Chain A
Amino acid sequence: MENKRINKQAKIVGNVEIRPGIFVMTILCPEISTSSSAGQFCMIRPGNIQGLDPLLRRPLSIHFTDQEKGHVQFLYRVVGRGTRALSRQLEGEFVEVLGPLGRGFQVEEDEIPILVGGGLGVAPLLFLARQLMGRRAIAILGAITKSQLLRLEPFRETGLEILVSTEDGSFGNQGLVTEVLDRLVSRLEDEAKANVAIFSCGPYPMLRAVYHLCSAHGVRCEVSLETTMACGSGLCLGCAVKAKDGGYLHVCKDGPCFRAEELAWE
């Protein structure tokens, strides 16, 4: 076991609706805040529902950690019963949390990382951007429209070069993040292409486009996938996704961050 997982009740120190239906929850959990790495996730559920409904904890990427304060932060959207229950939790209440889980992003020492996040996909990328502070790295962040761009300020604070795009052109470049990425990568010499690596999270069609683009340019690419999970810890095998070789991979333990070429893209 690479890092010991923690299973406990953690106190909520903040649960703020930053946009309609989008929340940032901060919990006090020093063990996870010091042992997790970017791209890993936690299984989380309100601590006061006596185990019955919603039954399962929900997988949420770690968005941000503050090791000094022992804080762990999650950026999430209310999509169903589990996240709705989480959104109703108040500061001072508790959540059940298990983490850190899964394979995070694996950044090589000598490569130039390019982070590509669409919509809520910025969630695990802020953690990565903070781990990359002081390094040469670029983050491309996009959304449908300006009001849906998330967490620009915290990204800017990392000092990374930030490129922004919106599909309707209401902020930054007009177009898709993949178009920004394409322009960026196309300008590179072959030698430079071998030195960059893409780390991406967002809707499946976006990730697929990122993968195809990287594959065409011969650029290394890792993606963070989202699936329904029951346990998050390799017990139930419920989070299977198709692998390139015809078998299945499990998002909770083989991922959630995969080398994009391992996956069978549909």
Chain B
Amino acid sequence: MTNHTEKEKKEPDLQIKLGRLILQNPVLLASGTCGYGKELEDLIDLKKIGAIVVKGISLEPRKGNPPPRIHETPCGLLNAIGLENVGLEAFKSQKLPWLREHKIKTIVNILGNSVTEYQKMAEGLSGLEGVDAIEVNISCPNVKEGGVAFGTDPRAANEVTRAVKKACDLPVIVKLSPNVTDICEIARAVEDAGADGVSLINTILGMAIDIERRRPVLGNVFGGLSGPAIRPVAVRMVWQVARTVRIPVIGIGGISNFRDALEFLMAGASAVQVGTATLVDPGAPEEILTGIVDFMVRNNYSSIGELKIGD
């Protein structure tokens, strides 16, 4: 950048700590919008990104929901992919080696139908070289059983977090659902269970109707809403949760540019995840990172933590 007018302005420290997990910068790629990394190899320099959160993995492969799976709404995207994924074993043998070879910080998003399944997933990932952390998905709105059931009940959220923590030696982040009356209650429950951080928000449950055919647009009837349309809801929830728990918060929800990302970092997030924006423009995450750095330089911030608005 050429607009450094004052000589004393220097590069800010972008490093962030999520429990034991240290990341070079706070911009992460959100699960379900970046595949397993390799899909983006010619479009994003993944080494420059804080971390990639890979597509949610289940114990067994899942083939996903019947189409149509996506529908554009004003400033938003409704999706009901249904957690189509290759399953734990194929992830370990086919996807993880590439991420490891390329030294890409990798957070593995896991999901299950029962506490036992989550526990088995965590056991299966524990100690694997190339896995830097686990993100526990208790908030996917698009599958019939499991997933969201754990994200809407504080006791179940606590139980599943406890099981995952016990089963592995990795930092554990729990991804929270916004489809609850009080997200702080769930955040407290997973903090009590030993979570190293929380990420929020997952998509907001929504629906669209095709008025010509007089039926729901999505094959799954309901879907999860993402994109700029949900950002104010997400910023509000991050603000609330960051004032409720002591563990780090990762902000997610409609981040399309560096200004959006800064809203979350100021609301109290230690890092952000970029999701739908990557689908629209794979160049977005790197631009967001550059924009955050420029903003910090312009305004004399020396670390990410300084961005937080105090109480």
Contacts and interface: CB of A to CB of B under 8 A. Distances in A.
Contacts of A229: 70
Given A7-B283, A51-B256, A54-B72, A235 B81 contact: no
Contacts of B72: 54-56, 81-82, 228, 230
Interface string A170-206: 0000000000000000000000000000000000000
Q: Which of A98, A227, A247, A248 has the most CB of B within 10 A?
A: A248
A209 interface: no
Interface in B66-80: 66-72, 74-77, 79
Nearest to A236: B279
B283 A53 contact: no
Contacts, number: 107
A242 B68 CA distance: 11
Contacts of A233: 39-40, 43, 282
Nearest to B257: A51
Nearest to B85: A237
A5 B42 contact: yes
B280 A57 contact: yes
A235 B42 contact: no
Contacts of B278: 231, 235
A79 interface: no
Given A5-B43, A240-B84, A228 B279 contact: no
A9 B283 CA distance: 11
A45 B276 CA distance: 15
B32 interface: yes
B165 to A, nearest CB: 30
The dominant DSSP class at the B interface is loop
Contacts of A242: 66-67
A55 B84 contact: no
Interface in A98-156: 98
Contact of A248 (B42, B84, B279, B281): B84
Given A7-B281, A51-B281, A56 B77 contact: yes
The dominant DSSP class at the A interface is loop
B79 A236 contact: yes
A56 B77 CA distance: 8
B84 to A, nearest CB: 5
B206 to A, nearest CB: 14
A242 B63 CA distance: 11
A19 B221 CA distance: 37
A234 B35 contact: yes
Q: Which of B34, B40, B74, B280 has the most CB of A within 10 A?
A: B280
A230 B84 CA distance: 16
A54 B75 CA distance: 7
B135 to A, nearest CB: 17
Nearest to A253: B39
A241 interface: yes
Contacts of B194: none
Contact of A55 (B42, B43, B75, B81): B75
A247 B279 CA distance: 23
Contact of A7 (B64, B256, B282): B282
Interface of A: 1, 4-5, 7, 45, 51-57, 81-82, 96, 98, 227-231, 233-242, 247-248
Given A55-B227, A56-B77, 9 more contacts: A5-B43, A55-B76, A81-B72, A230-B276, A230-B279, A233-B43, A235-B34, A236-B33, A237-B64
Interface of B: 32-35, 39-43, 55, 63-72, 74-77, 79, 81, 84, 227-228, 256-257, 276-283
Q: Considering the complex of A and B, which 9 residue pairs feature the smallest CB-CB distances, nearest first?
A: A238-B70, A231-B279, A234-B39, A238-B69, A230-B279, A51-B256, A4-B42, A52-B75, A53-B75
